[in-house]
């Protein structure tokens, strides 16, 4: 029943055919269960998901083809299995990391169950019984009272106390509890906050007792809709993942074209005698094409990206940002909008008294004294300052403050306690009452000069309510008048040494109208409440409630006749006004600077809250979101105001919006989707169950460490310290990680271009194979992988947070950069071929052939030569080629310490990890050259000193070439060249998002 809030009690009961005094009959329970119902991804799919990547699929295909080709050539044992095995091993390792990361992500739905009630007090067949909440059906009559978790969505039908208040912060984000009523709600497009006659599943009753009829169970509840929303949300690919996918598609086409081209170019050589027949020749050149594919695909790229992101998560963990999803590290770098939940994220979610107003004296006309109170949590830590900014050493020596402490402690039903496990102070009961208890602790006790230091000596458990317990021991509570909505106040009768005193608290207008006198703060005297004094107090109240948007309560007392044992509503008159307190859910101290940092970095912050517009606008002023603005038109919207806008105005509103109020979960998810349609990269912060769908939908969901388990499980990142400022540090780290990721991707691309050029040029020249597939695989996985990973340790640029966020459709490698790395790649390929040719033509250890003889190597067996034909299967030339390729790539790794800065400015030792990886790579390469079992496996042989010298001569020029290209980039010609090549993006253009 979706519109129960708009129907009368009798209509709802009639709809379910239930008697409010008897409940459902057993037959009705069974029937309603049939009509309305009662209140994870398989592991193998997660494994398969890790291989759903084009580059990975191409590699798997290459591994299978190479295996069958090896068998076709008669190879057996380790030789046949080596190449495909190495490919599959690296892919399996990469998949394992992905599976471990993603198995945690599906816990959110399970943890939603923690917010469901276990049992419910239900009337059936005319009597009450306690049943499992899962057995409830629509139409059941349920009774709830203080401390109950609401077991289903229910329509109020009977109030059994003066009031019923419910904490529904987990659903709406409201910082204070909500009063419930029986009256019908007539609001168009009503949100949860408007449905004041509905009790929502999972919320907690904090005051009162009532009966209600179940109108929704399971997925038809507010909590159920959150679960369904999370189930429907599909994970968005991160900007880098999209670019790598595009790169994979592009690379697949290029590889296919080049492989076919190489095969076709060599058709004339299929019948060469060296191959032993046309079919064998075709297979031989098909093997070369496969080798080309292996060379072109950066096998190590998925593993290196994963490793670099994992290293980034460790650095972010030290900043108190716990990353749950590796790709989100990179997503942070291009975040353009942060949609921040207000309650508990920008604020402490702990009501605290910040202002006090009392009458100081009437000696020189009515003079109101104003005090400010520090401390923004439930901890009894804070001091009072007068309006001159002077700290009060012993606040309890002031008469009004002393009586405010008494009234706050006695006219109160809440509890504050210390939780040693969480190392924090917690509340039980109303947030406003808890704020008064904490105020009583801050004011302290009278009569002790050493009061502040004496309290500091207590344990945290004792300190939590020491002063409150003192007043409760001094005064015995005799009678209580509960808060009611018509009176808007509550009173308690206390007895102390045969003196009866009534303490009252409530809405300022209600208390003031019942007061005839007022307490003076300077001497403790009671004076008549004149019209002038009343006007001054009302002026302070309007200032607190209006300009400062504080929630105000007034406190009063009355001396009662001796021996009185009960209170009546008639006693609540002729009161003595004590003072006025203003409280708020205060912003976190560090939020203001964090907001400013976001603005500097080009990131827009949108505050999203279930609270009312006025309160939220006041908070935005405090945190600097509305700095230098008097008119908030076009910047601040309620959910209903936004929904009424025409489509064109909605688009404009989304581009300027800073504040979004009176929202419910569906609105948060809608906001994220709308911003994503405008190509914004959206981060959503939150801590409540109500935030979970939006956290899951956002490009990056950021949960608070103190938030609900559901929010954490739905998020990509958790802030361990609940500090909004940590997001700024995390964004800076995300940008640095992306810059480093971009550097090693370019490094790997240029290296792979070199390998492709090497094989392609060798095929065109008609010389023997320069490198065999297993050698290419070794270069790609080991010698490429280690330096590429170390590039991830490049230092963060000092101005990383001064640049605007990069665009999501920005190519990883643009036209000019691709030209640069094409030049480098071509040199790497030519140097590798040159090393091979040098051994045959000029090496003292080689045959010293002519170039023509080298080109006609395949006809060696058909003609007379002065050298044996076995020279063309010698392992030395391919060893020289492979070593040139390894060493030139080590020099190229040094080029990638910076995109445009010279090695003279950023020297190699600025990244010791990179130097270490280069040393380790060379040691591994030397190991396979000089240790015999490995040298046989990789078809290599030891090199002489002369051969090493030639390798260095051929490799070092890559440094000089890149320094020249960097110089061009830093100067006007480079900029102009960049302009000319800007449309030649390495990655093909496509829509940023496929919706």
Residues with catalytic roles: 341
Measured over the CA atoms of residue 706, residue 711, residue 712 and residue 716, the dihedral's sign is: negative
With tokens 């804070």, the residue in question is: 382
3-state DSSP assignment of residue 421 = coil
**Residue in the structure block whose two tokens are 């780290």:** 733
**Cβ proximity of 350 and 358 under 8 Å:** no
Q: Provide the token pair at 813.
A: 């490698």
Look at the chain and count its residues: 995
Q: Which two tokens stand for residue 195?
A: 């449905």
Rounded Cα gap, residues 578 and 440, in angstroms = 14
Per the CB < 8 A criterion, the answer to whether 273 and 265 are in contact is no
Residue 179, beta-bridge partner list: 165
Nearest to 327, CA basis, from 76, 53, 522: 53
How many Å is the Cα radius of gyration of the chain? 38
Q: Which two structure tokens, joined as six digits, stand for 72?
A: 């076709």
CB 380 within 8 A of CB 442: yes
**Structure letter (DSSP) for residue 769:** P
Torsion angle of alpha carbons 869, 874, 877, 883, nearest 10°? 170
- Is residue 779 within 8 A of residue 887, CB to CB? The reply is no
Closest C-alpha among 405, 719, 454, 697 to residue 578: 405
Six token digits for residue 114? 């923690």
DSSP state, residue 973: H
Alpha-carbon distance of 780 to 748, in angstroms, equals 8
724-765 vs 301-318: helix crossing angle, rounded to 10: 160
State which H helix or E strand residue 74 sits in: none
What gap in Å lies between CA 270 and CA 286, rounded to an integer?
10
CA distances from 163 to 176, 178, 181, 869 (A): 15, 10, 8, 102
CB distance 916 to 782 below 8 Å = no
């Amino acid at each position: 029943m979706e519109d129960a809030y708009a129907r009368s009690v009798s209509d709802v009961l009639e709809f379910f055919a239930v008697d409010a005094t008897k409940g459902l009959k057993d037959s009705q329970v069974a029937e309603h269960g049939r009509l309305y119902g009662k209140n994870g991804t398989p592991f193998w799919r997660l494994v398969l998901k890790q291989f759903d990547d084009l580059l990975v699929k191409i590699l798997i295909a290459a591994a299978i083809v190479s295996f069958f080709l090896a068998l076709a050539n008669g190879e057996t044992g380790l030789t046949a299995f080596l190449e495909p095995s190495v490919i599959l091993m690296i892919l399996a390792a990469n998949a394992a990391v992905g599976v471990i990361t993603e198995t945690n992500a599906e816990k959110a739905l399970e943890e939603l169950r923690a917010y469901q009630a276990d049992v419910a007090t239900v009337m059936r067949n005319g009597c009450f019984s306690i049943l499992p909440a899962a057995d409830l059906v629509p139409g059941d009559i349920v009774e709830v009272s203080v401390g109950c978790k609401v077991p289903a969505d229910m329509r109020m039908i009977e109030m059994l106390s003066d009031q019923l208040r419910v904490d529904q912060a987990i659903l709406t984000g409201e910082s204070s509890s909500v009063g419930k009523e029986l009256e019908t709600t007539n609001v168009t497009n009503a949100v949860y906050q408007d449905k004041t006659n509905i009790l929502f599943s999972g919320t907690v009753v904090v005051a009162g007792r009532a009966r209600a009829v179940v109108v929704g169970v399971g997925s038809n509840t507010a909590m159920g809709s959150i679960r369904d929303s999370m189930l429907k949300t599909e994970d968005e690919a991160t900007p880098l993942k999209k670019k790598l996918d595009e790169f994979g598609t592009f690379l697949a086409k290029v590889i296919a074209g080049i492989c076919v081209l190489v095969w076709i170019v060599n058709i004339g050589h299929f019948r060469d005698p060296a191959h032993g027949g046309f079919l064998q020749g075709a297979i031989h050149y098909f093997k070369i094409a496969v080798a080309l594919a292996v060379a072109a695909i950066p096998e190590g790229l998925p593993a290196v990206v994963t490793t670099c992101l994992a290293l980034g998560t460790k650095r972010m963990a030290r900043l108190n940002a716990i990353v749950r999803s590796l790709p989100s590290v990179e997503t942070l770098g291009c975040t353009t909008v942060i949609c921040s939940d207000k309650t508990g994220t920008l604020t402490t979610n702990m009501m605290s008294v910040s202002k006090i107003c009392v009458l100081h004296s009437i000696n020189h006309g009515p003079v109101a004294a104003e005090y400010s109170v520090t401390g923004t949590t439930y901890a009894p830590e804070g001091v009072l300052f007068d309006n001159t900014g002077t700290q009060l050493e012993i606040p309890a020596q002031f008469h009004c403050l002393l009586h405010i402490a008494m009234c706050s402690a006695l006219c109160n039903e809440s509890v504050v306690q210390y939780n040693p496990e969480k190392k924090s102070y917690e509340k039980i009961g109303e947030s406003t009452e808890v704020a008064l208890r904490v105020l009583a602790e801050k004011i302290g006790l009278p009569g002790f000069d050493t009061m502040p230091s004496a309290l500091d000596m207590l344990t945290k458990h004792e300190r939590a309510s020491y002063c409150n317990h003192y007043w409760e021991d001094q005064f015995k509570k005799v009678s209580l008048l509960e808060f009611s909505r018509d009176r808007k106040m509550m009173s308690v009768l206390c007895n102390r040494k045969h003196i009866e005193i009534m303490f009252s608290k409530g809405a300022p207008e209600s208390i003031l109208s019942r007061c005839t006198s007022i307490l003076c703060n300077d001497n403790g005297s009671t004076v008549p409440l004149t019209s002038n004094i009343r006007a001054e107090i009302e002026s302070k109240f309007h200032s607190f409630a209006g300009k400062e948007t504080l929630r105000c309560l007034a406190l009063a007392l009355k001396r009662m006749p001796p021996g009185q044992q009960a209170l009546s509503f008639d006693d609540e008159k002729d009161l003595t006004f004590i003072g006025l307190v203003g409280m708020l859910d205060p912003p976190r101290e560090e939020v203001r600077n964090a907001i400013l940092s976001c603005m500097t970095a080009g990131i827009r912050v949108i505050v999203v809250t279930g609270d009312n517009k006025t309160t939220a606008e006041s908070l935005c002023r405090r945190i600097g979101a509305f700095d230098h603005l008097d008119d908030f038109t076009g910047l601040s919207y309620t959910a209903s105001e936004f929904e009424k806008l025409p489509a064109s105005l909605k688009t404009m509103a989304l581009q300027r919006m800073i504040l979004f109020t009176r929202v419910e979960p569906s609105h948060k998810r809608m906001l994220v989707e709308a911003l994503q349609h405008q190509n914004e990269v959206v981060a959503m912060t939150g801590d409540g169950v109500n935030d979970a769908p939006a956290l899951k939908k956002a490009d990056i969901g950021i949960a608070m460490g103190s938030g609900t388990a559901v929010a954490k499980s739905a998020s990509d990142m958790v802030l361990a310290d609940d500090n909004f400022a940590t997001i700024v540090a995390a964004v800076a780290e995300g940008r640095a990680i992306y810059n480093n990721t971009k550097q090693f991707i370019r490094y790997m691309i240029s290296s792979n271009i070199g390998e492709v050029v090497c094989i392609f040029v060798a095929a065109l020249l008609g010389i023997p194979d320069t490198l065999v597939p297993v050698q290419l695989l070794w270069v790609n996985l080991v010698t490429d992988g280690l330096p590429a990973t170390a590039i991830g340790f490049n230092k963060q640029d000092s101005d990383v947070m001064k640049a605007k966020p990069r665009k999501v459709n920005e190519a990883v490698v643009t036209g000019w950069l691709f030209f640069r790395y094409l030049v480098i790649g071509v040199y790497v390929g030519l140097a590798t071929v040159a090393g091979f040719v040098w051994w045959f033509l000029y090496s003292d250890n080689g045959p010293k052939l002519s170039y023509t003889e080298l080109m006609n190597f395949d006809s060696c067996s058909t003609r007379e030569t002065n050298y044996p034909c076995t020279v063309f299967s010698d392992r030395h030339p391919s060893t020289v080629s492979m070593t040139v390729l390894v060493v030139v790539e080590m020099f190229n790794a040094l080029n990638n310490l910076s995109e445009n800065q010279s090695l003279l400015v950023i020297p190699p030792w600025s990244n010791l990890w990179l130097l270490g990886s280069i040393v380790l790579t060379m040691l591994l390469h030397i190991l396979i050259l000089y240790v015999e079992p490995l040298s046989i496996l990789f078809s290599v042989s030891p090199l002489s000193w002369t051969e090493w010298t030639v390798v260095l001569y051929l490799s070092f020029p890559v440094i000089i070439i890149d320094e020249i290209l960097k110089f061009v980039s830093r100067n006007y010609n480079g900029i102009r060249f960049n302009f000319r090549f800007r449309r030649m993006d390495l990655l093909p253009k496509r829509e940023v998002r496929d919706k």
